[in-house]
Chains A and B, each alone.
Chain A
């Protein structure tokens, strides 16, 4: 399998990367979604811009209670505990279940979020967490609440002239409960239903239902789901009017399992 011809650029700094973007280059981070699309000729860029060498692209820094995760941080780094504390444990548990190690060794949190595949794990989990996506455009940085980042299937709040630079999250107290459940018959298969529930002491619990053929459903106050997972999962899924009964059944199951695990 061979991709259609394209040229390759390796910007050394962010202004150079934004300039390439403005000229129509396609960003590549881990290449674990773009690579298959190139090989299958589903993506036909004239030029790709390799983001991996940008300063600060990968890595985690702490500013008080805020954790800043560079968009180029790999799933494997997160699995191996690069994010500290309870938040890090939660993210590591999610990362560990993405695909297999070779994909996690290259694939990045930012690439996954920017790609906005409805079945992607970060798209199902980040919207439940308190924080922002940090976009960088010609006018500088813009902060997009995580719950408002994914707008649809392969559609995000990033503008055409912006790159995703980092994810900023609030540290979580040790007593935070979290549940994440997805249905795949084998690892690395696209999930057919994914849900997560986050219960932070002193704050309203949040939940996300994803792997829908639409933007994820973000539930800003999931108290009712935690109180009665079965009934509330049924009520929430009914509001989506999913066509296939099996899909609705899996969505209910995902929400219920995630809520039970977060109690």
Chain B
């Protein structure tokens, strides 16, 4: 089957790739572009471990066709730290041990960042509802929610 040539921007870098028309963006990120931070938990939109942003909007990359992203901007977990400097959410997740196996973590971080961009002062309920699309089989969620709330407070006082 003829491959499609797609030109896009990933984490600020102009990027080109070839893909099959039926490939998901997640498949291309992981298997063609070597960006394996995004994980495949389900392939059906339920787990959030594949979360990216597409034109700034939080999206499950397993439900995006790679063929669609031409001309659009993608960010993935690999674009979250600035060089060696972790994003405040990443730093806080480390400090508060808000992860165990780490499979869900890239997706949780992408989702949490997009929450804080939209709502810098979320309540605990808002954090829990926003992250309801990110399944974690290890932490019991409590540390994740507290880490997001603490990061939000710190980012507000730093601003």
Contacts and interface: CB of A to CB of B under 8 A. Distances in A.
Interface of A: 1-8, 10, 28, 31-32, 35-36, 38-40, 48, 50, 52, 76, 99-103, 105-106, 186-188
B132 A188 contact: yes
Contacts of B40: 1
B57 interface: yes
A103 B65 contact: no
The CB with the most chain A CB atoms within 10 A, among B45, B46, B67, B132, is that of B45
A152 B40 CA distance: 33
A105 B22 contact: no
Given A31-B64, A105-B59, A188-B46, 8 more contacts: A2-B27, A8-B65, A32-B45, A39-B63, A40-B43, A76-B57, A100-B133, A102-B111
A106 B22 contact: no
Contacts of A48: 21, 65
Contacts of A40: 43-44
A6 B59 contact: no
Interface in B23-53: 23-24, 27, 40, 42-46, 48, 51
A38 B25 CA distance: 14
A2 B63 CA distance: 11
A122 B4 CA distance: 35
Given A35-B62, A102-B58, A8 B45 contact: no
12 contacts: A1-B40, A3-B22, A8-B67, A35-B63, A36-B45, A39-B44, A40-B43, A100-B133, A105-B57, A105-B59, A106-B64, A188-B133
Chain B interface main SS type? mixed
Contacts of A99: 45, 133
Contacts of A105: 54, 57-59
Interface of B: 1, 4, 20-24, 27, 40, 42-46, 48, 51, 54, 57-60, 62-65, 67-68, 111, 114, 129-130, 132-133
Contact of B63 (A4, A31, A50, A186): A31
A36 B1 contact: no
A73 to B, nearest CB: 14
A4 B46 CA distance: 21
B68 A50 contact: yes
Closest 7 CB pairs of A and B: A100-B133, A1-B43, A35-B63, A8-B21, A36-B44, A39-B43, A187-B132
B60 A38 contact: no
Contacts of A101: 58, 111, 114, 130, 133
Contacts of A2: 22-24, 27
A67 to B, nearest CB: 24
Contacts of A106: 57, 59-60, 63-64
A35 B45 contact: yes
A100 B22 contact: no
Contacts of A1: 40, 42-43, 62
B47 to A, nearest CB: 10
A102 B59 contact: yes
A6 to B, nearest CB: 5
Given A31-B64, A186-B132, A187-B129, A8 B57 contact: no
B62 to A, nearest CB: 7
